[in-house]
């Protein structure tokens, strides 16, 4: 499973690597569709923990839907970006395996683009601890839609380095087992309209790129740029549409 191929210390190091690319992450990563947010936590106002909140890409959708949010992330630079955008949101540095919130303090826990960094068994125990009775857990990922030709080419360029860093159904299954949870799934999507250099900058926020040494990073980013410069669907264009599939999973513990 993504993330779970690594030992606990490696997962912590890679999750923490996002701090070095926090501003780029906030600027270039996609948000989440409103319908996915409603699916995860409903449309009745709730007190929601955004776990692995990063720069607040999911936080913003939760606030727009009328929820009260508390944000937890292991990387302080990521939370600093979140506080600039949403100063009303309480933030705490912390991990999924040691959530710094009281027992029974939230109605829902959500994780956007983050659950593959969690260790399911200890994290599940923490989720049970902080959830109020009847609470739900929402896990959501945006994944590039490689049914589009140029995105397929981009995926091939990333494949060797990205392996083990994308979400997969096994992550959800591991949490469902640990929680004894019923799982519901909703698929939607989102499209980013970006300049080619913004696409490159977004790729540079991936943890596997952030952890490269400077020479390898420069080479890798050059390879990504070459796809955009040469593919017939992107060559010479000022803007391109980068489509994502959004897979949202709602887990209701037994």
Q: For the residues of 82-131, what is the DSSP string, one character each?
A: HHHH-TTS-EEE-BTTB--S-TT-EEEEEEES-GGGS-HHHHHHHHHHHE
Specify whether the CB–CB gap between 71 and 56 falls below 8 A: yes
Domains of the chain by start residue, with CATH: 8-145+165-191+245-253 (3.40.50.150)
pLDDT at 162: 65
- Whether the pLDDT of residue 163 is over 80: the answer is no
CB-based contacts of 247, cutoff 8 Å, min separation 6: 140, 141, 143, 167, 185, 186, 187
pLDDT at 3: 43
| Average pLDDT of the chain to the nearest whole number | 89
Pairing of strands 240-253, 131-144: antiparallel
Question: Residue 254, class by beta-carbon neighbours within 10 Å (0-12 exposed, 13-18 middle, 19+ buried)?
Answer: exposed
pLDDT at 8: 52
Specify whether the CB–CB gap between 50 and 58 falls below 8 A: yes
The phi, psi pair for 14, rounded to 5°, reads: -70, -40
Lowest mean pLDDT among 18-27, 46-55, 69-78, 179-188: 18-27
What is the spatial distance between Cα 200 and Cα 223, in angstroms, rounded to a whole number? 10
pLDDT at 4: 45
Residue among 28, 40, 61 nearest 187 (CA): 40
- Whether the pLDDT of residue 12 is over 60: the answer is no
Sheet of 131-144, strands arranged across: 91-93, 68-73, 47-51, 106-112, 131-144, 240-253, 181-194
Rounded mean pLDDT, 40-53: 96
In this prediction, residue 166 has a pLDDT band, given cuts at 50, 70 and 90, of: low
- Whether the pLDDT of residue 10 is over 50: the answer is no
pLDDT at 45: 96
CB-based contacts of 200, cutoff 8 Å, min separation 6: 221, 224, 225, 228
Rounded mean pLDDT, 55-78: 96
pLDDT at 11: 47
pLDDT at 212: 85
- Whether the pLDDT of residue 164 is over 90: the answer is no
């Amino acid at each position: 499973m993504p993330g779970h191929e690594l030992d606990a210390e490696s997962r912590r190091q890679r999750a923490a690597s996002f701090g070095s690319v926090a501003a780029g992450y906030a600027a270039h990563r996609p948000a989440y569709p409103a319908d996915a947010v409603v699916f995860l936590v409903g449309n009745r106002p709730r007190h929601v923990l955004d776990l692995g909140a990063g720069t607040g890409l999911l936080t913003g959708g939760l606030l727009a839907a009328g929820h009260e949010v508390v944000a937890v992330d292991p990387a302080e630079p990521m939370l600093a970006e979140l506080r600039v955008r949403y100063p009303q949101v309480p933030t705490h540095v912390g991990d999924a395996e040691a959530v710094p919130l009281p027992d029974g303090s939230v109605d829902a826990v959500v994780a956007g683009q983050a659950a593959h960094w969690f260790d399911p068994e200890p994290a599940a125990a923490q989720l049970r601890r902080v959830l109020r009775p009847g609470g739900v857990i929402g896990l959501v990922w945006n994944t590039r839609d490689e049914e589009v030709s140029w995105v397929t080419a981009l995926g091939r360029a990333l494949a060797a380095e990205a392996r083990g860093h994308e979400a997969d159904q096994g992550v959800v299954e591991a949490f469902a087992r640990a929680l004894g949870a019923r799982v519901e799934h909703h698929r939607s999507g989102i499209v980013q309209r970006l300049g080619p250099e913004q696409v490159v900058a977004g790729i540079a926020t991936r943890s596997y790129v952030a952890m490269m040494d400077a020479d390898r990073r420069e080479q890798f980013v050059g390879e990504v740029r070459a796809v955009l410069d040469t593919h017939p669907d992107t060559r010479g264009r000022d803007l391109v549409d980068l489509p994502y599939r959004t897979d949202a999973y709602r887990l209701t513990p037994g």
